[in-house]
């Protein structure tokens, strides 16, 4: 057998080996992953894997993705591949309990009809084509969870959304929310009372009931049994030691809580009895707090401090006797954008949140918990004495004494970590004789609770604290409209969405609550952006000077033409014509200089982009070619030496 035949046979065997390895790896190594991304974007977190492994019954996922249409949109196609690969990772980690179907709903097909029927969002692309990019999950009892459309803006929460969907399907029962409130929210009012002119519940109550099973709690007999998943505390006032102890132990046992406290509640102060007390007592009754428990959890909310914020302040009419005077009311705040934590799932997608006379959530210096801000004021804010608002609105007075600092104030926060009981000596044992007599008459005893006393939390606590309660009232987040006899609620702020997001997040398992944003697969050119900012700073002053010069020259021409018309002459003098011509030449010159400045602004950036393109596109092939040439030369030299050795 000659050398050429051996070469052909070797090449044939190499091809066979290559194909065999691909087939073998495709069938046996499908679950193998090597994630080299900076933040492990394609690797599930430990919390997600624990939730997936605990799935009790099969879950079916149908991923609707218009792949053919997405070919026209490279960004969508890339993100679609990212979502699909992450879904496949869930399947690989589920030991067969998750099944994935990938469906391309072509126009006018049965698949498209099914996508519309289950509630997926269609994005029209023109010519009658609709792009679908969503997910439908079902379990064995036909519970359904839907992601209508995967938006790239939420990519950092992609894993959280998918894990939450799987968790909800594996545990489909409605979470029970226990409401403990000092406000007249009327959580248990019947429909008959609503239509009969009785007390009307706050709209937030129905908003919660749409998602959760809401149960009103009696602060005089606070029984927090295992049937309550989340405790919602709004404006707690006058809670005795037994009630505080019940809350303390509920949180230590692993119960979740959302707490709304207030240094001054306008809603309560507006009541007739409260106004009478306000005149006698300075409005102190309009405050609420839970300081003993909050301190044990590592934070504090002072009942004497409200936040004033010039940047976020809403405008109100401070005029009198029919006169209109619009001023900023520093304690009525509209917080949006950077004031909401975009790295936390509770506030990531929220619109503006409106608060009134909000307090401040402070970290304690010796606190051991992790405190994460959710809602903050702007740096142009100030801590103000609550007494300034307890005697009625005084916007102009607040503006006179306002001295902004340079620090944002925390209005809402998430608290996590291990904590100790606020009752280190055990359950409260001392009771007033009257209370004991009342309990005896009702058949109650003051003996030790059934559940053993806990000195420390059994697992990291999950609590969200908000230093305002008025934001839950209808006035601060909705407007009612009557349309053809129907009472419609039109939200003007995301206050209700914030509460439902908080409850929904805390209703999940520890693993789900612990998930954080994972970053985005899209990588910006950091060096390019840095260079762009430096170039802008360098040329901004020159550009501004040229623009001012240009405007001044235009004004000079307009002035000369105006003087000529004012003189009554239709013809300009030779001197005026010369001045105008000179000014016009100056305008042309200035515009050329301005274009030159703008060109210089982009020149360095374009050079860097060219170098990056060369490195990404051309450098690697050149490097491979150089290596190939070096290897070829080394082989040639080795063969020549071998031939010389054989001849000698």
Contact 109, 71 (CB under 8 A): no
Instruction: Mean pLDDT check: name the lowest of 165-169, 173-177, 279-283, 307-311.
Output: 279-283
> In angstroms, rounded to a whole number, what is the distance separating the alpha carbons of residues 243 and 237?
11
Check: pTM over 0.85? Answer yes or no: no
- Domain-embedded: residue 245: yes
Retrieve residue 34's tokens. 């090597």
Strand-strand pairing, 256-260 and 461-466: parallel
Domain termination residue (choose one: 169, 201, 229): 169
pLDDT at 411: 97
Question: Sign of dihedral through CA atoms 546, 549, 553, 559?
Answer: positive
Please give the pLDDT value at position 133: 93
Contact 180, 222 (CB under 8 A): yes
Q: The dihedral of CA 71, 76, 82, 86: what is its sign?
A: negative
Residue 446 has pLDDT above 50, yes or no: no
b/e for 422-441, b at 16 or more Cβ within 10 A?
Answer: bbeeebeeeeeeeeeeeeee
Give the separation between CA 559 and CA 24, rounded to whole angstroms: 84
Within a domain: residue 616? yes
Among 263, 301, 260, CA closest to 282:
263
Distances (CA, A) of 225 to 177, 506, 508: 12, 17, 18
Regarding whether 289 and 250 lie in a shared domain, the answer is yes
Q: Among the ranges 220-234, 467-481, 551-565, which has the highest mean pLDDT value? A: 467-481
Instruction: Please write the tens of the pLDDT for every residue from 359-372.
Output: 999 999 998 999 99
Q: Are the C-beta atoms of residues 188 and 177 closer than 8 Å to each other?
A: no
Which of 125-134, 159-168, 180-189, 452-461 shows the lowest per-residue confidence on average (mean pLDDT)? Answer: 180-189
User: Is residue 134 within 8 Å of residue 148, measured between CB atoms?
Assistant: yes
Alpha carbon 383 to its chain centroid, in Å, reads: 26
Both 23 and 58 in a single domain?
no
Residues 6+ apart with CB under 8 A from 393: 316, 329
- CA angle, residues 262, 267, 271, in degrees to nearest 5: 125
Q: What is the CB neighbour count within 10 angstroms for residue 208? A: 22
Q: Quick one: pLDDT at residue 63? A: 96
340 and 291 in a single domain? The answer is: yes
Please give the share of the chain, as a percent, with pLDDT higher than 70.
Answer: 72
Q: Over 50: is that where the pLDDT of 103 sits? A: yes
The band of 271, judged by pLDDT with boundaries at 50, 70 and 90, is: low
- Please tell me whether residues 141 and 181 are part of one structural domain: no
What integer is the mean pLDDT of 5-16? 68
Q: What's the mean pLDDT when you consider all of the chain?
A: 80
Mean pLDDT of 46-75: 90
Same domain, yes or no, for 24 and 128? Answer: no
23 and 88 co-located in one domain: no
- The two three-digit tokens of residue 512, written as one number: 């789900």
Whether 545 and 490 map to the same domain: the answer is no
Q: How far apart are CA 162 and CA 144, in angstroms?
A: 13
Q: Does 443 map to a domain?
A: no
Residue 8 has pLDDT above 90, yes or no: no
- Residues 96, 59, 257, 176, CA torsion sign: negative
Digit-coded pLDDT (tens) for 415-444: 999 999 999 999 987 554 445 555 555 555
| Residue 435 within any structural domain of the chain | no
Q: According to the per-residue pLDDT averaged within each range, which of 28-37, 169-178, 353-362 is highest?
A: 353-362
If asked whether residues 268 and 409 sit together in one domain, one would say yes
CATH number of the structural domain spanning residue 152? 3.40.30.10
- 214 in a domain, yes or no? yes
Pair type for strands 122-126 and 129-138: antiparallel
Residue 551, pLDDT above cutoff 90: no
Give the pLDDT confidence score for residue 164 in this predicted structure: 85
In this predicted structure, the answer to whether residue 535 has a pLDDT above a threshold of 80 is no
d(CA 527, CA 96): 44
Q: Are 70 and 78 in contact, with CB atoms under 8 Å apart? A: no
pLDDT-wise least confident of 12-16, 106-110, 501-505, 562-566: 562-566
Domain presence at residue 473? yes
Rounded to whole angstroms, the Cα distance separating 198 from 178 reads 23
- CA separation for the pair 100, 166 (Å, rounded): 12
Work out the number of other CB atoms within 10 angstroms of the CB of residue 313.
24
Q: pLDDT band for 161, please (50, 70, 90 cuts).
A: confident
Residue that finishes a domain, picked among 129, 154, 169? 169
Task: Output the six-digit token pair for 317.
Answer: 């009419």
Pairing of strands 256-260, 230-234: parallel
More confident of the two residues 77 and 8: 77
Average pLDDT over residues 111-118: 91
Question: What's the total number of domains in the chain?
Answer: 4
Distance of alpha carbon 531 from alpha carbon 146, whole angstroms? 43
Instruction: For 424, list phi and psi in degrees, rounded to 5.
Output: -65, -25
Distance between CA 380 and CA 308 in Å, rounded?
9
Mean pLDDT across 557-583: 68
pLDDT band, very low/low/confident/very high, at 574 (cuts 50, 70, 90): confident
- Per the structure, the complete domain to which residue 26 belongs is given by 1-30
At 311-343, the pLDDT tens digits run 999 988 876 656 667 888 999 999 999 999 988
Residues 276 and 379 in one domain: yes
CATH number, residue 344: 3.40.50
The alpha carbon of 2 is separated from its chain's Cα centroid by a whole number of angstroms, namely 70
Specify the higher pLDDT residue, 629 or 445.
629
More confident position, 435 or 44:
44
Residue matched to tokens 């001849």: 647
Place 278 in a pLDDT band, splitting at 50, 70 and 90: very low
330 and 402 assigned to the same domain: yes
Residues 218 and 108 in one domain: no
Output the CA–CA distances (angstroms, integers) from residue 472 to 4, 308, 315, 500, 605, in the order listed. 84, 19, 20, 11, 49
Report the distance separating Cα 267 and Cα 502, nearest Å: 23
630 has a pLDDT exceeding 80: yes
Same structural domain, 154 and 205: no
Position 502 in a domain? yes
């Amino acid at each position: 057998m000659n050398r050429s035949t051996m070469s052909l046979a070797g090449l044939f065997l190499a091809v066979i080996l290559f194909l065999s390895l691909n087939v073998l790896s495709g069938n046996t190594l499908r679950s193998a992953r090597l994630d080299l991304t900076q933040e492990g974007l394609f690797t599930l977190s430990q919390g997600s894997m624990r939730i997936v492994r605990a799935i009790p019954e099969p879950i079916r996922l149908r991923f609707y993705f218009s792949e053919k249409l997405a070919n026209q949109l490279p960004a969508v196609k890339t993100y679609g591949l990212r979502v699909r690969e992450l879904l496949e990772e869930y399947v690989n980690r589920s030991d067969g309990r998750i099944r994935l179907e990938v469906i391309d709903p072509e126009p006018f097909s049965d698949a498209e009809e099914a996508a519309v029927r289950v509630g997926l969002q269609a994005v029209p692309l023109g010519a009658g084509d609709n792009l679908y990019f969503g997910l439908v999950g079902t379990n064995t009892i036909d519970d359904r969870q839907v992601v209508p459309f995967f938006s790239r803006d939420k990519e950092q929460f992609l894993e959280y959304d998918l894990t939450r969907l799987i968790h909800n399907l594996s545990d489909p029962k409605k979470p029970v929310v226990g409401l403990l409130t000092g406000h007249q929210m009327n959580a248990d009012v019947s429909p008959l009372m609503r239509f009969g002119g009785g007390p009307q519940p706050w709209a937030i109550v129905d908003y919660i009931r749409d998602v959760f099973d809401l149960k009103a709690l009696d602060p005089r007999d606070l029984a927090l049994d295992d049937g309550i998943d989340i405790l919602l505390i709004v404006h707690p006032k006058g809670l005795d030691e037994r009630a505080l102890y019940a809350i303390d132990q509920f949180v230590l046992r692993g119960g979740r809580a959302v707490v709304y406290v207030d240094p001054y509640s306008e809603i309560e102060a507006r009541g007739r009895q409260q106004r009478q007390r306000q005149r006698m007592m300075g409005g102190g009754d309009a405050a609420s707090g839970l300081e003993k428990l909050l301190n044990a959890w590592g934070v504090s909310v002072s009942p004497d401090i409200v936040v004033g914020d010039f940047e976020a302040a809403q405008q109100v009419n401070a005029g009198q006797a029919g006169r209109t005077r619009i001023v900023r009311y520093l304690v009525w705040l509209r917080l949006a954008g950077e004031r909401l934590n975009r790295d936390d799932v509770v506030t990531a997608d929220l619109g503006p949140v409106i608060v009134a006379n909000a307090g401040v959530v402070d970290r304690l210096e010796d606190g051991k918990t992790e405190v994460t801000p959710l809602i903050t004021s702007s740096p142009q804010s100030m801590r103000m004495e609550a007494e300034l608002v307890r005697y009625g609105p005084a916007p102009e007075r607040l503006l006179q004494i306002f001295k902004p600092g340079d620090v944002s104030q925390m209005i809402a926060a998430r608290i996590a970590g291990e904590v100790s009981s606020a009752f280190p000596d055990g359950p409260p044992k001392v009771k007033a004789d009257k209370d004991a007599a009342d309990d005896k008459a009702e058949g109650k005893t003051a003996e030790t609770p059934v559940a053993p006393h806990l000195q420390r939390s059994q697992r990291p606590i999950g609590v969200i604290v908000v230093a305002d309660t008025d934001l839950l009232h209808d006035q601060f987040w909705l407007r009612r409209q009557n349309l053809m006899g129907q009472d419609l609620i039109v939200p003007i702020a995301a206050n209700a969405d914030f509460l439902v997001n908080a409850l929904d997040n805390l209703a999940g398992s520890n693993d789900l609550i612990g998930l954080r944003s994972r970053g985005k697969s899209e990588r910006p050119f950091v060096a390019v952006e840095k260079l762009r900012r430096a170039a802008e700073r360098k040329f901004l002053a020159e550009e501004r000077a040229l623009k001012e010069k240009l405007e001044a020259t235009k004004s000079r021409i307009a002035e000369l033409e105006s003087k000529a018309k004012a003189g009554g002459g239709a013809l300009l003098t030779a001197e005026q014509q010369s001045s105008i011509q000179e000014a016009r030449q100056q305008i042309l010159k200035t515009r050329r200089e301005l274009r030159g400045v703008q060109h210089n602004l982009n020149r360095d950036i374009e050079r860097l982009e060219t170098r990056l393109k060369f490195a990404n596109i051309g450098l690697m092939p050149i490097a491979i070619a150089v290596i190939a040439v070096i290897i070829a030369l080394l082989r040639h030299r080795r063969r020549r030496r071998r031939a010389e050795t054989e001849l000698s």
